[in-house]
Chain A
């Protein structure tokens, strides 16, 4: 499976805020106090006939410090919506039954630390949803059998040493996993259960595994039924250690016999196989030319087997984050970044792709298009506009203009928001781009301080979607610049590949060229420039303060500062061998890893720097922030390091999230005045 080591923070991508009853809204700018009014939308799915949209709405409860979730049902014709759930937690993946009469979804069952995600089926004629699974390790994903009578689902095996572990014989053999894991992972396998909860049985077993979600990243590769209900396409990796998912392939299970065949001869880098509506083909993810360092393409193979044809490489030429079959079975809805947009294409199996005209609408594409295609050909997705936070958008067909269905965040959109403008420049043969957000009330008559907010990934992109952090900074009177840089996933294979074995220097020059372009295009006070970012954006920040001395302040969050730590300690760390040409511990590669690690240049830093990180971040281990901290402190630079005692790559609760933004903005404000 070719799921890139996503060193990124999805939370900074698109966020939304609503201010119920804020009639005075247009007279004021956005502030941190608006953050608790966020309504986040996710998991958008369509009814088979395309007339209803179901999605998950999440509102911050600052008192309980958690997100209150509700499953929402929107009737497209009546333009009405209503909540379907009451006080449920952990709601995800609402999916209509093939006949449209039921909705299956995941939600937490049980209480406290023993609560697990389980599969529920809600009858749309009324009645309590039935809990159809009682999987000890919880349900990761599921798919309706086409006849609607049963569901296949994926759950992890119980640990083989469970009884021994209860007696404290819980030592475990470590594989390619995170430094803070406290057990070996167990394989994920396919099970089948009837829609009424009866007939639960295992379909697959063995030491191999179906990859699970490792946020922030794409979700675990969905399982896909053949239309006749006899086969399931799924993604199979050789063991349960998720960092070895590069060796994943698309496999097909014969449900009746239990036999499994692999689809192609590639042996690695595949995933996300989906049967075409007529069952004759399987579309799946595979990198350009089968190169593990390349961007993700979509290949289509005969369902009976074969190596498939790349249908996106020379046509859309972007890193594809999702492909869904259109009902005709002759084309795919393909999602990916293009320039400063999140783009959608209709890609036919033969012939030229057609880019869908979305106007200013930017679908949410944080490693995955959060959207759906109905059997009728309607399209729905979560999306935003530069001046409007996330809502549900709907297209009756691929030819229809997107229509904003929901109004969860209208009040925020009515605030005095900063204008968002794309910016392009040339550097070293690349046509590069980025996004500029201007302060509300911007005028070219005066000079403005500038804040760089650099995206993570590195294989992601800054686009002209709504950005809460950009708007919060702009509201404080800063021009905000989000540069893309080689390694970004918005300008095609050559740009994407430009970061391979050039983790810092080339991308750093791209950002500096972008900064020069901003200074040419806007009235910038060059004595007041700050640089900041989270994750790989933190890497870029740490790199830039070690190489350039134009910064008045820096915020380096969850930063990759030491590529050796990242390789050896992160949950998907060994994937860095594709970016670096191999392991740091073989050949003479250690020196390359050191040379491309920002901490190696920390002794040259003079910028006052705020370091932020989660103590139990498995994606970018906090060890790297400790290294940067000690280097800057011993050098005599001004540095503060604040750590959040939580797990994850970014605090996931509203209180700490607000605290991160407060410290980020506060640090910059104290130096840019």
Chain B
């Protein structure tokens, strides 16, 4: 799914290993517990509604990787059975339309040259067989409705590979990020019979199916009659050019393409309705990329879309069709909660009654209308749930993280305040174990700011905040204008005001927390990663209430973000024009935290990945030199890896440990 330029990060999604049969005295949830948390993702229910497959990930600290395998769950009994063993790179399980087989992506080939390929596993026993043999691996795939074929997306070969092998490998730079070492070939749609035969290409050209970097992409959706595929088309293979991305309809027999709508841009995530007459997709409200994503439904024959979630008025985080094609299931933030809506194509939406559950990942819907999803509670990490109908109560299907109940966890509450400009704003507060209301004690506070900025902190499980709280801190996760949980006006308000307004929002939130009378105001730390790092860098340059700061993978210089990250033109809506146009240059500069770094005084830990193409390490280098040159206490720790956050368990734990240790050094709660 494509969001607007989202400098965001789902780092603290829960991962880990399970624990069975050991007992511990209750103690505060801490790093060793986080290691054991199991991740649950990509739930897919069979069409008969009886079985769910999902990907379970366990952290392997010895090998420093996450072992992901497929798990099958019986919807009636909850009995679980592991389907794959020792496979690498398992993802994207998909039932065959008749439920007799499972397709999934896994790595094939020797380790160094391993590529992601599609496998199909018969569900009446037998080896999974490899269906695709794509040179450059498979980005995504979809079963044809009759189950006989699989459409998949793969990247073209580099047409200049022979020259490259001769070291004539200079490549022409476009709107790519600065870490690129070759031109990016486009990704295109191919089709193959399920027995692996007759693989052939369906599309070609210099345009590309939306690629995997950075937004997942590769989404393709069959029409129920198997004649068409709805695809997500980028004008070029480069994300920086992707504001022009649109949904097109591919005639599978002829290879011809037509645009679905007249909009010409900002469209993504096509979903063909089960009835075949409509295609749903996401697009920013009113075509303004600074607005939240709306859920649009257009006639499959072509034409403008209708925003079916206008009443909800919140950014669409995820969506899927109901089984009868009369409604969409939509997940959005709403204030301090993540809500799952049943949204008929006409008429008001109904929020599912999920109690304390915060949906983390929406799965799919069975023919009889059951919907599966992954959700957490404020005191429990992700598990798998099913709703038997829109009005049913959720049933929990897994208890992979049961061990967490044997630890003491922070209690969690939402907090609201009125911010500058009259916005009714909110955030989440985590209370350290042992916290007692009314006691005279004051607690040190860690402000922990989400990234995005298109994102939101809502009530749900939060490993990092739980650990920090267990070390004796109040943890405050503020939302701020630009967050996705309070509607388009709030989300849009960050345009041309990327620091000052959001900074005032956070400070208003901090004042609200302080009014509770429980904060030791001499021991407040501010921290965040990505846009949360931007906010941290901004706040230490503008306010001087901080005892310590942790600025991770922070955006400190908007001009770098445009020029050397993968965002390029997708950053332009923040400011209205390109940075080198003299009309706009000062706007880009003045809203960059680096301009105010000379005012910083808080001891600051900077962290980042050398190979981050999202928020480039160049930002951190500038912040580091600025703080050092102004004699501010600063340490800059870099990870020699790719990505926006270390993806392996060892380094990601190291980040969190350094983060906490830095704050401990200056705020010493424990």
Whether B170 pairs with A179 at a CB distance below 8 angstroms is no
Does B113 interact with chain A (Cβ within 8 Å)? Answer: no
Distance in Å: Cβ of B64 to nearest Cβ of chain A: 5
Compute how far the CA of A289 lies from the CA of B14 in the bound complex, rounded to whole angstroms: 61
Does B28 interact with chain A (Cβ within 8 Å)? Answer: no
A645-B630 CB under 8 A given contacts A170-B640, A171-B638? no
Whether A565 pairs with B618 at a CB distance below 8 angstroms is yes
Whether A169 pairs with B581 at a CB distance below 8 angstroms is no
Compute how far the CA of A656 lies from the CA of B164 in the bound complex, rounded to whole angstroms: 11
Whether A629 pairs with B173 at a CB distance below 8 angstroms is yes
Whether A626 pairs with B580 at a CB distance below 8 angstroms is no
Partner of A623, one of B618, B635, B637: B618
Distance in Å: Cβ of B617 to nearest Cβ of chain A: 6
Whether A644 pairs with B169 at a CB distance below 8 angstroms is yes
Q: Contacting chain A: which of B77-85, B135-143, B178-186?
A: B178-186
Complex contacts, A569 vs chain B, CB 8 Å: 618, 621
Distance in Å: Cβ of A621 to nearest Cβ of chain B: 8
Complex contacts, B640 vs chain A, CB 8 Å: 170-172, 182-183
Distance in Å: Cβ of A570 to nearest Cβ of chain B: 10
Interface residues of A (CB under 8 A from B): 65, 167-174, 179-183, 564-565, 567-569, 574, 583, 585-586, 590, 599, 602-603, 611-612, 615, 621-623, 625-627, 629-631, 634-635, 640-645, 653, 655-656, 659, 663
A172-B637 CB under 8 A given contacts A603-B582, A643-B173, A659-B170? yes
Complex contacts, A174 vs chain B, CB 8 Å: 606, 620-621, 624, 636-638
Q: Mark B593-630, 1 if CB is under 8 A from A, else 0.
A: 01101100000001100100000111011101110011
Complex contacts, B124 vs chain A, CB 8 Å: none
Compute how far the CA of A179 lies from the CA of B557 in the bound complex, rounded to whole angstroms: 15
Does B578 interact with chain A (Cβ within 8 Å)? Answer: yes
What 9 pairs between A and B have smallest CB-CB spacing? A645-B181, A585-B626, A182-B640, A631-B580, A583-B629, A641-B173, A174-B636, A168-B650, A655-B167
Residue contacts A-B, CB under 8 angstroms, 19 given: A171-B607, A171-B638, A171-B639, A171-B640, A172-B637, A172-B640, A174-B637, A179-B617, A564-B622, A585-B625, A603-B580, A615-B179, A623-B178, A626-B563, A626-B564, A643-B170, A645-B171, A655-B166, A655-B168
Compute how far the CA of A568 lies from the CA of B625 in the bound complex, rounded to whole angstroms: 6
Complex contacts, B64 vs chain A, CB 8 Å: 167-168
Complex contacts, A169 vs chain B, CB 8 Å: 650-651, 654
Compute how far the CA of A567 lies from the CA of B179 in the bound complex, rounded to whole angstroms: 20
Partner of A171, one of B172, B578, B616, B658: B658
Contact residues of B between 152 and 208, Cβ < 8 Å to A: 166-173, 175, 178-182
Complex contacts, A183 vs chain B, CB 8 Å: 640
Complex contacts, A623 vs chain B, CB 8 Å: 178, 560, 563-564, 616, 618
Whether B630 pairs with A615 at a CB distance below 8 angstroms is no
Whether A626 pairs with B610 at a CB distance below 8 angstroms is no
Does B294 interact with chain A (Cβ within 8 Å)? Answer: no
Whether A599 pairs with B580 at a CB distance below 8 angstroms is yes
Closest to B583 in A: A603
Contact residues of B between 566 and 586, Cβ < 8 Å to A: 568, 578, 580-582
Contact residues of B between 324 and 373, Cβ < 8 Å to A: none
Distance in Å: Cβ of A11 to nearest Cβ of chain B: 16
Complex contacts, B620 vs chain A, CB 8 Å: 174
Partner of B581, one of A611, A622, A634: A634
Does B504 interact with chain A (Cβ within 8 Å)? Answer: no
Whether A644 pairs with B170 at a CB distance below 8 angstroms is yes
Closest to B578 in A: A634
Does B497 interact with chain A (Cβ within 8 Å)? Answer: no
Known: A626-B564, A631-B580, A643-B180. 4 other contacts (CB 8 A): A171-B651, A585-B630, A634-B581, A644-B169
Complex contacts, A643 vs chain B, CB 8 Å: 170-173, 180-181
Compute how far the CA of A173 lies from the CA of B617 in the bound complex, rounded to whole angstroms: 13
Whether B625 pairs with A583 at a CB distance below 8 angstroms is yes
Partner of B170, one of A625, A630, A653, A656: A656
Closest to B631 in A: A586
Compute how far the CA of A590 lies from the CA of B648 in the bound complex, rounded to whole angstroms: 38
A173-B637 CB under 8 A given contacts A585-B597, A642-B172? yes
B interface bracket (residues with beta carbon within 8 Å of A): 35 or more
Distance in Å: Cβ of A584 to nearest Cβ of chain B: 8
Q: Mark B490-531, 1 if CB is under 8 A from A, else 0.
A: 000000000000000000000000000000000000000000
Closest to B169 in A: A645
Whether B622 pairs with A568 at a CB distance below 8 angstroms is yes
Compute how far the CA of A602 lies from the CA of B578 in the bound complex, rounded to whole angstroms: 13
Distance in Å: Cβ of B643 to nearest Cβ of chain A: 13
Compute how far the CA of A558 lies from the CA of B452 in the bound complex, rounded to whole angstroms: 33
Compute how far the CA of A74 lies from the CA of B626 in the bound complex, rounded to whole angstroms: 54
Closest to A640 in B: B172
Whether B621 pairs with A171 at a CB distance below 8 angstroms is no
Whether B172 pairs with A641 at a CB distance below 8 angstroms is yes
Complex contacts, B622 vs chain A, CB 8 Å: 564, 568, 585
Distance in Å: Cβ of B338 to nearest Cβ of chain A: 32
Compute how far the CA of A86 lies from the CA of B180 in the bound complex, rounded to whole angstroms: 38
Complex contacts, B321 vs chain A, CB 8 Å: none
Compute how far the CA of A428 lies from the CA of B582 in the bound complex, rounded to whole angstroms: 31
A568-B618 CB under 8 A given contacts A171-B639, A173-B636, A585-B598? yes
B64, B181, B562, B621, most chain A CB atoms within 10 A: B621
Complex contacts, A656 vs chain B, CB 8 Å: 167-170
Complex contacts, B562 vs chain A, CB 8 Å: 630
Distance in Å: Cβ of B415 to nearest Cβ of chain A: 34
Compute how far the CA of A567 lies from the CA of B562 in the bound complex, rounded to whole angstroms: 19
Partner of A181, one of B178, B559, B610: B610
Distance in Å: Cβ of B160 to nearest Cβ of chain A: 12
Distance in Å: Cβ of A532 to nearest Cβ of chain B: 17
Complex contacts, A173 vs chain B, CB 8 Å: 635-637
B595, B610, B638, most chain A CB atoms within 10 A: B638
Compute how far the CA of A569 lies from the CA of B564 in the bound complex, rounded to whole angstroms: 13
Compute how far the CA of A586 lies from the CA of B597 in the bound complex, rounded to whole angstroms: 9
Compute how far the CA of A169 lies from the CA of B198 in the bound complex, rounded to whole angstroms: 47
Distance in Å: Cβ of B319 to nearest Cβ of chain A: 35
A167-B650 CB under 8 A given contacts A569-B618, A615-B180? yes
Partner of A585, one of B175, B629, B654: B629
Complex contacts, A564 vs chain B, CB 8 Å: 622
Whether B168 pairs with A634 at a CB distance below 8 angstroms is no
Whether B563 pairs with A627 at a CB distance below 8 angstroms is yes
Compute how far the CA of A603 lies from the CA of B585 in the bound complex, rounded to whole angstroms: 11
Distance in Å: Cβ of B663 to nearest Cβ of chain A: 17
A171-B597 CB under 8 A given contacts A586-B629, A642-B170? no
Compute how far the CA of A642 lies from the CA of B173 in the bound complex, rounded to whole angstroms: 6
Complex contacts, B654 vs chain A, CB 8 Å: 169, 171
Compute how far the CA of A612 lies from the CA of B171 in the bound complex, rounded to whole angstroms: 10
Closest to A65 in B: B167
Compute how far the CA of A612 lies from the CA of B639 in the bound complex, rounded to whole angstroms: 28
Closest to A604 in B: B582
Complex contacts, B630 vs chain A, CB 8 Å: 585-586
Complex contacts, B582 vs chain A, CB 8 Å: 603
Whether B648 pairs with A168 at a CB distance below 8 angstroms is yes
Closest to A181 in B: B610
A602-B598 CB under 8 A given contacts A615-B181, A623-B618, A642-B171? no
Complex contacts, B580 vs chain A, CB 8 Å: 599, 602-603, 627, 630-631, 634-635
Compute how far the CA of A179 lies from the CA of B622 in the bound complex, rounded to whole angstroms: 10
Compute how far the CA of A68 lies from the CA of B395 in the bound complex, rounded to whole angstroms: 71
Compute how far the CA of A621 lies from the CA of B178 in the bound complex, rounded to whole angstroms: 10
Whether B625 pairs with A645 at a CB distance below 8 angstroms is no
Closest to B640 in A: A182
Whether B595 pairs with A590 at a CB distance below 8 angstroms is yes
Distance in Å: Cβ of B299 to nearest Cβ of chain A: 37
Compute how far the CA of A180 lies from the CA of B613 in the bound complex, rounded to whole angstroms: 12
Complex contacts, B626 vs chain A, CB 8 Å: 583, 585
Complex contacts, B166 vs chain A, CB 8 Å: 65, 655
Closest to B562 in A: A630
Complex contacts, A586 vs chain B, CB 8 Å: 598, 629-630
